[in-house]
Amino acid sequence: MNYQKIIDELYKEIIDQENLGNVASYIPELAKVDPHKFGICLSTIDNEQMSIGDADEKFSIQSIAKVFALSLAYKNADGELWERVGVEPSGTPFNSLVQLESDLGIPRNPFINAGAIVICDILQSQLKDPKTELLDFIRMVSNNPTIDYSSSIAESEKSQGFRNIALINFIKSFGNIKNEINDVLDLYFNLCSIKMSCKELSSSFLYLANHGVEPISNNKILNGSQTKRINAIMQTCGFYDEAGEFAFKVGLPGKSGVGGGIIAIYPNNYCIAVWSPKLNSKGNSYRGMNFLEIFTTKTKLSIF
């Protein structure tokens, strides 16, 4: 299949349409981003790469990075992790406190803010130098030693992190946070600050399309069972309270971030990254969601 031709055609089709939505202005650094940026990159497990638009420009991947944190925690903790975080869709906004009380401080899944904070607490316990070792892991799976945290974005998030501060304190009241709150939040804010381009992002997720093996280095990141389960959680929980809509329209495991990025995985084949900063009412990229729906419809390639 000529992916490049299809990507080129759909890019031109979508860029001519009205670009609806708004950038994530509640994080000051994200409010500065050009809302008309639009990049796409598809990377295959055979090391081919096709792209268009602003695919080389780095952007804040935000919650997409939660998949990396989950992968590292799961790699080290295996099944024990699921005693502290669930695997069910939340059906509520990504920063909601509502379910935590009835669920006794156990977040519904690792991709809502509460769940990712618990994952960061687990990493804080597992690792001697969590920030360095988490970044080393991301650099390894991406085959890119230049990937880094953005101090300006991390500080910007901290300055407006009141809801996340409330979440972690509430979770700790149920005994599901084991480490110092400030240390866990520092790791969480830095995780969300990572900047990558569509090209870097799409190649970094190939291990989840290749049974846990990074295809360029042949490093085994996760075993087959762990890979299957992370893809399953991405399918059911990767888009907050729009996960069902994404499964219905796109039919691929994926993860979004409020920086406007989306990563989607077609197992045994490819990863595709789309970036467009304007978000719909659910916090997902407006153009990104539209592109991926049309792309899987046109290629007739989904997991269903």
Separation of alpha carbons 26 and 34, rounded Å: 15
**Has domain 3-299 been given CATH number 3.40.710.10?**
yes
The encoded tokens of residue 220 equal 């085994």
Calculate mean pLDDT across residues 53-82. Answer: 93
Please give the pLDDT value at position 19: 94
Calculate mean pLDDT across residues 49-56. Answer: 98
Domain segments of the chain as ranges: 3-299
In this predicted structure, the answer to whether residue 91 has a pLDDT above a threshold of 80 is no
As a three-state string, the secondary structure of the chain is CCHHHHHHHHHHHHHCCCCCCECCCCCCCHHHCCCCCCEEEEEECCCCEEEEECCCCCEECHHHHHHHHHHHHHHHHHHHHHHCCCCCCCCCCCCCCHHHHHCCCCCCCCCCHHHHHHHHHHHHHHCCCHHHHHHHHHHHHHCCCCCCCCHHHHHHHHHCCHHHHHHHHHHHHCCCCCCCHHHHHHHHHHHHCCEECHHHHHHHCHHHCCCCECCCCCCECCCHHHHHHHHHHHHHHCCHHHHHHHHHHCCCCEEECCCCEEEEEECCCEEEEEECCCECCCCCEHHHHHHHHHHHHHHCCCCC
Q: What percent of the chain has pLDDT over 70?
A: 99
The mean pLDDT value of the chain amounts to 95
Please give the pLDDT value at position 78: 65
99-131 pLDDT per residue, tens: 898 899 999 999 999 999 999 999 999 999 999
125-149 pLDDT per residue, tens: 999 999 999 999 999 999 999 999 9
Calculate mean pLDDT across residues 230-239. Answer: 96
Calculate mean pLDDT across residues 271-291. Answer: 96
Kindly compute the dihedral angle of the four CA atoms of residues 88, 297, 34, 159, in this order, to the nearest 10 degrees.
0
Q: What type of residue sits at position 6?
A: I
Please give the pLDDT value at position 212: 97
Structure confidence at residue 69 as a pLDDT band (50, 70, 90)? very high
In this predicted structure, the answer to whether residue 8 has a pLDDT above a threshold of 70 is yes
